[in-house]
Chain A
C-alpha cells in the first residue's frame, strides 16, 4: 500500500471537468425536444389542415374517455398491489383476460337465449360477477404461487415469476378455449346511439364510462371508509408498523388482490363489449397500457390511477389524429399503441413518480 503522495488528483479536476455535459444529457434533451416538436408541430399541422370536424374530435374524445375508464379500472389493480407489496403484478393484464374470456361463454349463452336482450341489467350483472369471480380466483392463485414465497425478499424473483405466470396463463387459456378470436355478443340495445346537441353518441360509451365511475366510487368508499381499507392504507404506508398495530398483513394482501381483480373483472368485460372480441392474448396490451396509466398517475396512488387511465385513454384516442396526422404520417391509427408505449417509457425515464407526484416510486427508479 503506497502513501497518498502519488494519489493527489490532477489539477485538471476543476469545476468544468467535473460538471461537463455528457452526450447522455444531449440525447435526453434531444428526446424531450423531439417529443415536444411532434406534439406541438403535429397539433398545429392538424389544426391548420382541418381534416377533422368537431363531431370527429368529440368522437375521439368520448372514445378516449370510454377506453380510459377501462384502463383506469385495470390500473387500480396494479397501483394497489404496488402500494402494498412494491411489485409489479406483471400478470394482471392476463388475469383481466381470464375473467373476460370466461364471461364470454356466459354472455354468448345469454345472448343466444335472448336473455341478454330482454334483461340487460340482470344479464350484465351476471356476466360481470362471473368475470370478477374468475379474475379473483386467478389472481389469488398467482399471488399464492408467484408472490407469497418471495414476500420477504427484495429481488427481481417475483417479477420474473410473474412474467412466467403471464405466459402460463395466456397459454393455458389458449389450450382450453382455443386460439381463434371470439366475437363478444352485440345485443340490440347496445347498438343504439343517442343524440346530444346534434351529436350521435353510441350508447355503449356512456354505459362503460358510468359503470367504470360507479365501480371506482365503490372502491374508493371501501378504501376510505371500511376497516379493511384503512388497514390497506396502513400497510401501504409502513408494513412493519402496521404489523405492530396488529394488522394481519396476509389478509390485507389477499384483500388487495381481490379488490384489484374485481376491478379488472369489470374492466375486462367492458373492454370486450367495446371492442367486441376476445382471445387469449387480449389481456396483454391493455395490461401494459393500464400499467402505464398507473405509472402516469403515480404508482401506489389510487386516484392517480383513475386519472391516469382517463388521461391515457384520451391521449391515445386523440393522439394519432392530433399529433401524427399533422406531421404527415400515413395511417396514423396503426401507431396508436406507439403513443401509449412512448408515454410509458417517457414517464418511466423522466418522471417515474408520475404526473401527480407520488413519492413512492422515487426509491425504485
Chain B
C-alpha cells in the first residue's frame, strides 16, 4: 500500500476574538489509517473538525484533501469531495426515521431531480428503490437491522451514535471524522464501538480521523496519535511514543492526567 497523505493541513489557524483555538496546525492523515487527535478539554479538537469541514473556514493556512484545496469552500463541497463527520453531541435529524436519516446522507449520490419526482419518471422511481435498498444495507452494516422505521430520537444512545456514523458513511466518504464516538459509553460499549470503527476502516477502506478526550480509549486502535494542547500540536507518533512524551504528560497533568493516562 502506498503511503500518501489523504488529508494535509498546513499551518491551519483559527481565532475566536482574542483566543487562538487552533494555532498553525500541521496534520498529515495517511490513507487507510486510524489517526487520533487527543488533548485535554478546550484543546481545540472540535475546532479542527469544524475547520476541515469549513463550518468556520480557517483564518490562515491551507487544507489539502486528495490533492485539492478544500479550505474556504462550503461544507457541502467538502462533503462532495469525500470528507464527512459525526458530532460530539449527536446531531441526527431527530424527527426523521433511521432510514430517512441514511437517505439524507445519500443525497449527493442520488441522481433524481425534483422534476423527475413530480412526473414520477421511471428512472426516478428506480433510483428511489435502489436508494432504499442501499440504505437498508447501511443499516445492516451499522447494526440497526430492522430499526429503519424508528424515529431517530427514540433510538438508544449507542444506536444513535452508530446511526450518525451510518449517515456519514452514506455519503461514501474517503475520510471520516469521528468526534468522540465513545463519549458517554461504558467500557464494553466503548470496545464495541472501537471494533466497529476498525471494521469501517477495514471493510470500507475509509480513512478515519478520530477525536478523543482520553488517550486510554484510542491507544488500542490508533495507528497514529496527535496531541493537541491549547490549539498547538505538542506531540505526534504511535501510542507508545506519545505516551512517553514528557510534554504530553505535562499537558495532561493538573488537568485530567489521572483519568487520561490510567
Contact with B along A3-41 (1 / 0, CB 8 A): 111011100011100110000000000000000000000
Contact A4 B80, beta carbon cutoff 8 Å: no
Task: Give the interface segment out of B65-73, B113-121, B144-152, B254-262.
Answer: B65-73
B233 within 8 A of A: no
Given the complex, which residues of A lie within 8 Å of B206, measured CB to CB?
A: 4
B15 within 8 A of A: no
Contact B204 A1, beta carbon cutoff 8 Å: yes
Binding site for B on A (CB under 8 A): 1, 3-5, 7-9, 13-15, 18-19, 359
CA–CA, A14 to B206, complex, Å?
A: 20
Given the complex, which residues of B lie within 8 Å of A15, measured CB to CB?
A: 68-69
Contact A4 B70, beta carbon cutoff 8 Å: no
Given the complex, which residues of A lie within 8 Å of B173, measured CB to CB?
A: 7
B141 within 8 A of A: yes
Given contacts A1-B204, A4-B206, A7-B82, whether A18 and B174 have CB atoms under 8 Å apart is no
Given the complex, which residues of A lie within 8 Å of B85, measured CB to CB?
A: none
Contact A7 B70, beta carbon cutoff 8 Å: no
CA–CA, A126 to B206, complex, Å?
A: 74
CA–CA, A7 to B134, complex, Å?
A: 14
CA–CA, A1 to B174, complex, Å?
A: 14
Chain B's nearest CB lies how many Å from the CB of A6? 8
Chain A's nearest CB lies how many Å from the CB of B187? 28
Considering only CB atoms, which chain A residue lies closest to B206 in the complex? Answer: A4
Chain A's nearest CB lies how many Å from the CB of B139? 10
A18's partner among B17, B70, B203 (CB-CB below 8 A) is B70
A13's partner among B68, B72, B169, B205 (CB-CB below 8 A) is B68
Considering only CB atoms, which chain B residue lies closest to A9 in the complex? Answer: B82
Chain A's nearest CB lies how many Å from the CB of B52? 13
Contact B205 A4, beta carbon cutoff 8 Å: yes
Given contacts A4-B205, A7-B82, whether A14 and B73 have CB atoms under 8 Å apart is no
Among residues 172 to 194 in chain B, which have CB atoms less than 8 Å away from a CB atom of chain A?
172-174
CA–CA, A13 to B205, complex, Å?
A: 20
CA–CA, A4 to B176, complex, Å?
A: 12
CA–CA, A171 to B87, complex, Å?
A: 47
CA–CA, A7 to B173, complex, Å?
A: 7
Given contacts A13-B68, A18-B70, whether A3 and B174 have CB atoms under 8 Å apart is no
Chain B's nearest CB lies how many Å from the CB of A280? 39
Given contacts A7-B174, A8-B174, A9-B174, whether A18 and B77 have CB atoms under 8 Å apart is yes
Given contacts A13-B68, A15-B69, whether A1 and B141 have CB atoms under 8 Å apart is yes
Considering only CB atoms, which chain B residue lies closest to A4 in the complex? Answer: B205
CA–CA, A365 to B244, complex, Å?
A: 46
Contact B172 A18, beta carbon cutoff 8 Å: no
Given the complex, which residues of B lie within 8 Å of A7, measured CB to CB?
A: 82, 172-174
B81 within 8 A of A: yes
Considering only CB atoms, which chain A residue lies closest to B169 in the complex? Answer: A1
CA–CA, A19 to B81, complex, Å?
A: 12
Given the complex, which residues of B lie within 8 Å of A5, measured CB to CB?
A: 205
Contact B66 A9, beta carbon cutoff 8 Å: yes
> 6 tightest A-B contacts by CB?
A7-B172, A4-B205, A18-B73, A15-B69, A9-B82, A1-B137
**B70, B172, B206 — most chain A CB neighbours (10 Å):** B172
B138 within 8 A of A: yes
Given the complex, which residues of A lie within 8 Å of B169, measured CB to CB?
A: 1
Given the complex, which residues of A lie within 8 Å of B73, measured CB to CB?
A: 18-19
Given the complex, which residues of B lie within 8 Å of A359, measured CB to CB?
A: 17
Binding site for A on B (CB under 8 A): 17, 66-70, 72-73, 77, 80-82, 134, 137-138, 140-141, 169, 172-174, 203-206
Given contacts A4-B172, A15-B68, whether A9 and B81 have CB atoms under 8 Å apart is yes
Given contacts A4-B206, A13-B81, whether A19 and B66 have CB atoms under 8 Å apart is no
Given contacts A1-B137, A4-B205, A4-B206, whether A14 and B67 have CB atoms under 8 Å apart is yes
Given the complex, which residues of B lie within 8 Å of A13, measured CB to CB?
A: 66, 68, 80-82
Contact B72 A19, beta carbon cutoff 8 Å: yes
CA–CA, A14 to B66, complex, Å?
A: 9
CA–CA, A205 to B140, complex, Å?
A: 74
Chain B's nearest CB lies how many Å from the CB of A362? 10
Considering only CB atoms, which chain B residue lies closest to A8 in the complex? Answer: B174
CA–CA, A3 to B205, complex, Å?
A: 7
Contact A18 B204, beta carbon cutoff 8 Å: no
Given contacts A1-B137, A9-B81, A13-B81, whether A18 and B68 have CB atoms under 8 Å apart is yes
**B68, B70, B141 — most chain A CB neighbours (10 Å):** B68
Given the complex, which residues of B lie within 8 Å of A19, measured CB to CB?
A: 69, 72-73
Chain A's nearest CB lies how many Å from the CB of B61? 15
Considering only CB atoms, which chain A residue lies closest to B207 in the complex? Answer: A4
Chain A's nearest CB lies how many Å from the CB of B198? 15
Considering only CB atoms, which chain B residue lies closest to A18 in the complex? Answer: B73
Contact B69 A9, beta carbon cutoff 8 Å: no
**A1, A13, A19 — most chain B CB neighbours (10 Å):** A1
Given the complex, which residues of A lie within 8 Å of B138, measured CB to CB?
A: 1
Chain A's nearest CB lies how many Å from the CB of B119? 26
Given contacts A9-B81, A18-B81, whether A4 and B204 have CB atoms under 8 Å apart is yes
A-B contact pairs, 11 of them (CB 8 A): A1-B137, A3-B203, A4-B204, A4-B205, A9-B66, A13-B66, A15-B69, A18-B69, A19-B69, A19-B72, A359-B17
